Chains A and B, each alone.
Chain A
Amino acid sequence: MGLRVRAALAAGLLLAARATVASGADRFHDANELVRTGDYPRAIAAYGELARSGSESATLYWNWAQAASARGALGESLWALLRARELDPGDRAVERDVDRLRQALNLDKAEIAPEPLAVASRFARRFRLDLVALGLLVVSLLAHAAARLGIAPRAGLRVAWTALALALAAAAVPLLGSFARPTAAVVRRGAPLVDAASPSASPTGTLREGEVVPVLETSGDWLRVEDNAGARGWAHAGDVRRLDEAPQPPPQG
C-alpha cells in the first residue's frame, strides 16, 4: 500500500471520527432542546440512542435524569444519576441529586448501595488508582533496573521498593472493587418480582422504585435479582436497568 493511500485513509478516518463527535454533540443539543420544550419522552429517547451509540458520559446521564424527573419517572431519574456517578464518581452535583431523589423515593441509603465493594470501585475510578498503580509499577521497574545497572544503586533500589509497595496498594483498591456484584436500579413503580424468567411467571413480590439490587444472573430480557429484603426473583429488563453498562435497546414485552 502506497504512502499516499495510507495517508488518505488516515485522513478519512480522522474526519469520520470528528464527524461522529460533531454529530453526537448536535444530537445532544437537539435532545436538550426537546427537554426545554417539554417533550420529555422524545428527549429521553434521544438520550438513550446517544448512550447506546457510545456517547456515554456523566453529562448525558445528568440531562437524562433531569428529563425523567420532570416527567415524574423518579426511578428512571435515579438510575440515570447513578449511571452518571459510575462514569464520573467525582461529580458532586450528581451526588447531591442522587441524595435528593433517594429521599424523594423514601429510600434508605443502604437501599441504593447494596454492594459495599462498589464504593471501593468508585473510589478507585474517581482517583484513577488503576493508572496510578500502573505508573508506579513502571517507576519501580525502572528504578530497579537502574540500580541493577549501577546508576545510583542504593537510591534506585530504595525508590524501586517504595514505588512497588505503593503500586500494590493502589492496585488493591480497584482489584477489590472488581469483586462487587453488578447492580441494577428499579425504574418502574411496583415492578413485579416473578419466579421465572418468563412473561407467564407468577409474581412473588414487588420491587421498590429506585431501589438498587444486585444482579445475580441474566437470561434474555430478564435479570435475576435480590431485593433489599433478601427476596430473590426475576425482573424484566424494562423494569430494572443495570448500572454497570450502557442501557440496552428497549426490551420487547
Chain B
Amino acid sequence: MRAERAGFGGVLGALVLLLGHPGGAGGAQSPQNRDAQFTLRSEVDARKIGLQDQLQLTITVEGSGAPDEIALPPLVNLDVAGGPFSSSQFSFVNGRTSQSRSFTYVLQPRAAGKAEIGAVQAGGQSTQPIAVEVVAGSIRPREQQRQDPFGRDPFGDPIEEMFGRGRTRAQSARVQMEAMPSRTRLHVGEPLVLTYWLYTQASVADLQFKEAPQFAGFWVEDLEREKTSPSGEPATLEGQSYRRFPILRKLLFPTKAGELTIPSSVFRIGLARTGFFDAGGTLERPTKPVTITVDPLPDAPGFSGAVGRFKATASLDRESVPLGEAATLRFRVEGTGNLKWVERAPELHVAGAKVFPPQAKSDLRTSESGVSGSRTWEFVVVPETSGEVKVPPLAFSYFDAAAGRIVSVATEPLVLRVEGGTVAAGLPAVPAASAPGRASGALPLRSELDQRSTWAPGSRLLASAVVLGLVLHVGLWGLGQRRGAGYGGEGRTASSRSLRQALRELERAAREPMSKEQAAALVEKALGEAFGEIADGDDSARARGVRALLDDVRFVRYAPQLGDYSEKVKDLAARAAEVVRRWA
C-alpha cells in the first residue's frame, strides 16, 4: 500500500495545483526563465469549435511576483463574451506551499475559419499564440458550454468563496476511478495493459488503496506510468467532463484460459482544501470489475509456451578448439512476448562432444507490447574427438497470436573444428578454466610410481586384536591366581611394603647384637613376610631356595650354643636378603 501510494506522488503534486480549471484542451506556456518567480500559462478548452459555440480562455499564473492584472491578449476572429473571472488558489501539500491565480474569458467566434489567441504578456514573460479552428454551426454539447469553469458561480457569494463552500464537499465532489483494460479478449500468454484512471473535477491531495487490486490468473508486470501532461487530459465519463490522470498501469499476462475477472479495487481519495475553513475531505471510490476472456493455446510437440514474435539464433564463440578445451554455444531467442516464461532451452546433443547444462542470461525490458529483449542460453561443449564436431539445428516454437498458429523456427547447423588426438571414451570431461598457480612451465610431475605397501590392519582387526590382548592378559593373571602362586610360578607375590619391612628386619638381624635365637627368629619372620607359606607340593626353584634357607635358619636357631654364631647369622641374613630381592 505504501509503495503504491508513493507511486502516485508525482501525479498528486500536479493535481492539487491544476485542478481548479478543468478546461484546457490546448494551451501555451511561457519559456522557462531562471529569474522568474512565477510561471504564465494560457489554455483553451477546445481547439475546434462551432460558430455558435463559445470558447473558454484561461490564463493561469503560478508562483509569486506576478502583476495583479493580466492584459487580454490580442484576439483574431474572436470576441469577448464574458469575463474576466478571476480565481486564486493557495495550496499547502507535504510542507510545500504554492499559489496560483486564474483569469477566465468566454470568447465567441465571429466567423467560420481560423481564429487565434495571441501571446499573453506579463512580467516580462509571454506565452505562445493559440490557433483555433472555427466551423459552421455548433459542435459542442450545450451542457459543456454552460459548465462553470471553476465548478461554482463566478458571481456567487464572496464570503463563501473566501471561507470555502459547504462542509459536505467530499460527498458531492465528482471524482471517479476506472480500471480500463487495453483489450478484453486474448490468448493465454498474450499481454494486456490495465490502466487505473482517476477522473476528477476537484483538487486531490492524497490517493491510496483501500483494497489493492487482485490479479488472480495473471502474471503481472509493472509498467512505468505514462508520461502525460501534469494537468491530465480532458475526458468524459457518464456524461460528465473530467480531467483524468493515469494512476497505475499493469502489464498482465493471463496464465490460464477462461473468463478471468479482475475484481473491484477501492481507492481512498483525499481532497485538497480550497478555503481557510475547508478541511478538505476523504472519499472512497471503487473501480468496476473487469472481465477478460482468455482463449487457450494450441498444443503441439516441442512448443515452448512462448507467445509473441521471436527469432532464434545460435553461435559458437570460436571456430576451432584444441582437444580437451571447451567451446561455448550460445542459443539466443529475441523478440517481444512473454519471454520471461520460457525457462527451458531446447535439448542439445552433439555427437562426439559432451554438453553441459546451459546457463541462461536475460536482457529483457517491459513495455506495453509485452516483454521484449533477448534470452540467451550458453552451453559448454567439450569435444571428445578430434576433427569436425557438428552442432545440429536448434528448434524453437512459439505461438504467433496475430497469425493464430504455432510457428517453429530453427537455427543454422554449426561446425566446430577440434584439433588434437582422440580422447578415451567415457572420460569425465570438464570445461577448461584458468588454472591457478602454475600458469607456465613444466608441471611438477613425479616420475616413479610409488608402490610401497600400504597395508593396514583396519579398525575391525585392530579392535579385535586389542580385545584379544586384553583377554590374554586377564587369562595370564587369572591363571596365576588360580594356582595360588606369585608371578614366576613360585608362590604369592609380596607387597612392596612387606618386602621393605622384610629387608629391614634382615638388615637388623645382621647388624644388631642379639642372640643367635633372636637373629634366626627375625630372619625366619622376614622370610615368612616375603614369601608366606611355601606349599608342600611347590617344587619350583624359588620354593626350593626358600625352603633350604629356612632349614639353615632353623638349624642355627635350635642348635646348642657351642661357639660364636655371629658370622653365621650375618651370612644367613645376607642370603635371605638376596633370596627376598630375587624371588619376592
Complex: how many Å from CA A65 to CA B434?
A: 15
B-side contacts of A44, CB under 8 Å? 427-428
Number of A-B contacts (CB under 8 A): 184
A-side contacts of B434, CB under 8 Å? 72
Contacting pair A72 B435 (CB below 8 A): yes
A39-B323, A141-B472, A174-B462 given as contacts; is B445 within 8 A of A32 (CB)? yes
Q: Which of A28, A36, A41, A55 contacts B323 (CB 8 A)?
A: A41
Complex: how many Å from CA A149 to CA B434?
A: 70
A-side contacts of B436, CB under 8 Å? 69, 74, 100-101, 103-104
Contacting pair B423 A70 (CB below 8 A): no
Q: Which residue of A lies closest to B486 (CB)?
A: A153
Q: Which of B458, B466, B541 contacts A168 (CB 8 A)?
A: B466
Q: Please give the distance in Å from B132's CB to the nearest CB on chain A.
A: 68
Give the contacts of B407-447 with A (CB-CB under 8 A).
420-424, 426-438, 442-447
User: At the interface, yes or no: A122 with Cβ under 8 Å from chain B?
Assistant: no
B-side contacts of A29, CB under 8 Å? 447
Contacting pair A171 B420 (CB below 8 A): no
Q: Which residue of A lies closest to B433 (CB)?
A: A72
Complex: how many Å from CA A39 to CA B384?
A: 12
User: At the interface, yes or no: B234 with Cβ under 8 Å from chain A?
Assistant: no
Complex: how many Å from CA A62 to CA B470?
A: 41
Contacting pair B473 A144 (CB below 8 A): yes
User: At the interface, yes or no: A182 with Cβ under 8 Å from chain B?
Assistant: no
A36-B442, A39-B323 given as contacts; is B473 within 8 A of A140 (CB)? yes
Give the contacts of B137-170 with A (CB-CB under 8 A).
none
Q: Which residue of A lies closest to B434 (CB)?
A: A72
User: At the interface, yes or no: B9 with Cβ under 8 Å from chain A?
Assistant: no
User: At the interface, yes or no: B487 with Cβ under 8 Å from chain A?
Assistant: yes
B-side contacts of A21, CB under 8 Å? 451
Q: Please give the distance in Å from B119's CB to the nearest CB on chain A.
A: 68
One of A5-13, A129-137, A212-220, A225-233 at the interface: A129-137
Q: Which residue of B lies closest to A154 (CB)?
A: B487
A134-B462, A171-B462 given as contacts; is B421 within 8 A of A28 (CB)? no
Give the contacts of A112-133 with B (CB-CB under 8 A).
125, 128, 130-131, 133
Give the contacts of B351-366 with A (CB-CB under 8 A).
357
Complex: how many Å from CA A87 to CA B454?
A: 8
Contacting pair A150 B540 (CB below 8 A): yes
B-side contacts of A128, CB under 8 Å? 456
Give the contacts of A150-201 with B (CB-CB under 8 A).
150-151, 153-154, 156-157, 160, 164, 167-168, 171, 174-175, 177-178, 187-190, 192
Give the contacts of B453-479 with A (CB-CB under 8 A).
454, 456-459, 462-463, 465-466, 469-470, 472-473, 476-477, 479
Q: Which of B357, B424, B451, B463 contacts A45 (CB 8 A)?
A: B424
Contacting pair A35 B480 (CB below 8 A): no
User: At the interface, yes or no: B448 with Cβ under 8 Å from chain A?
Assistant: yes
Q: Which of B424, B444, B457, B472 contacts A134 (CB 8 A)?
A: B457
A66-B445, A72-B434, A153-B488 given as contacts; is B424 within 8 A of A42 (CB)? yes
User: At the interface, yes or no: B249 with Cβ under 8 Å from chain A?
Assistant: no
Q: Please give the distance in Å from B479's CB to the nearest CB on chain A.
A: 7
B-side contacts of A76, CB under 8 Å? 428, 430
Contacting pair B420 A39 (CB below 8 A): yes
A-side contacts of B487, CB under 8 Å? 147-148, 150, 153-154, 156-157
User: At the interface, yes or no: B22 with Cβ under 8 Å from chain A?
Assistant: no
Give the contacts of A53-93 with B (CB-CB under 8 A).
55, 57-60, 62-63, 66-77, 87-88
A69-B435, A171-B462, A178-B459 given as contacts; is B445 within 8 A of A45 (CB)? no
Complex: how many Å from CA A45 to CA B428?
A: 8
A interface residue count range (under 10 / 10 to 19 / 20 to 34 / 35 or more): 35 or more
Complex: how many Å from CA A141 to CA B465?
A: 12
Q: Please give the distance in Å from B85's CB to the nearest CB on chain A.
A: 72
Give the contacts of B91-122 with A (CB-CB under 8 A).
none
Contacting pair B323 A59 (CB below 8 A): no
Contacting pair A148 B459 (CB below 8 A): no
A71-B432, A137-B469, A148-B487 given as contacts; is B445 within 8 A of A41 (CB)? no
Contacting pair A41 B427 (CB below 8 A): yes
User: At the interface, yes or no: B449 with Cβ under 8 Å from chain A?
Assistant: yes
User: At the interface, yes or no: B542 with Cβ under 8 Å from chain A?
Assistant: yes
Complex: how many Å from CA A38 to CA B423?
A: 12
Contacting pair B469 A141 (CB below 8 A): yes
Contacting pair B450 A36 (CB below 8 A): no
User: At the interface, yes or no: B490 with Cβ under 8 Å from chain A?
Assistant: yes
Q: Which residue of B lies closest to A239 (CB)?
A: B428
Complex: how many Å from CA A162 to CA B232?
A: 99
Q: Which of B420, B435, B443, B448 contacts A35 (CB 8 A)?
A: B443
Contacting pair A140 B469 (CB below 8 A): yes
User: At the interface, yes or no: B263 with Cβ under 8 Å from chain A?
Assistant: no
A24-B451, A87-B454 given as contacts; is B427 within 8 A of A45 (CB)? yes
Q: Which of B430, B435, B465 contacts A187 (CB 8 A)?
A: B430
User: At the interface, yes or no: B324 with Cβ under 8 Å from chain A?
Assistant: yes
Q: Please give the distance in Å from B359's CB to the nearest CB on chain A.
A: 8
A-side contacts of B426, CB under 8 Å? 45, 249-250
User: At the interface, yes or no: A145 with Cβ under 8 Å from chain B?
Assistant: yes
Contacting pair B459 A59 (CB below 8 A): no
User: At the interface, yes or no: B489 with Cβ under 8 Å from chain A?
Assistant: yes
Contacting pair A69 B431 (CB below 8 A): no
Most chain B CB inside 10 Å of its own CB: which residue of A41, A57, A133: A41
Complex: how many Å from CA A64 to CA B381?
A: 23
A25-B449, A130-B456, A168-B466 given as contacts; is B476 within 8 A of A72 (CB)? no
Q: Which 6 A-B pairs have the closest CB atoms?
A: A150-B488, A178-B459, A72-B433, A104-B436, A73-B430, A153-B487
B: residues with CB less than 8 A from A are 322-324, 357, 384, 420-424, 426-438, 442-452, 454, 456-459, 462-463, 465-466, 469-470, 472-473, 476-477, 479-480, 486-490, 493, 540-542
24 A-B pairs within 8 Å (CB atoms) are namely A24-B451, A35-B445, A41-B323, A41-B423, A41-B424, A41-B429, A44-B427, A45-B424, A57-B454, A58-B450, A71-B432, A72-B435, A104-B436, A130-B457, A131-B457, A144-B476, A147-B487, A148-B479, A148-B488, A148-B489, A150-B487, A164-B469, A167-B466, A174-B459
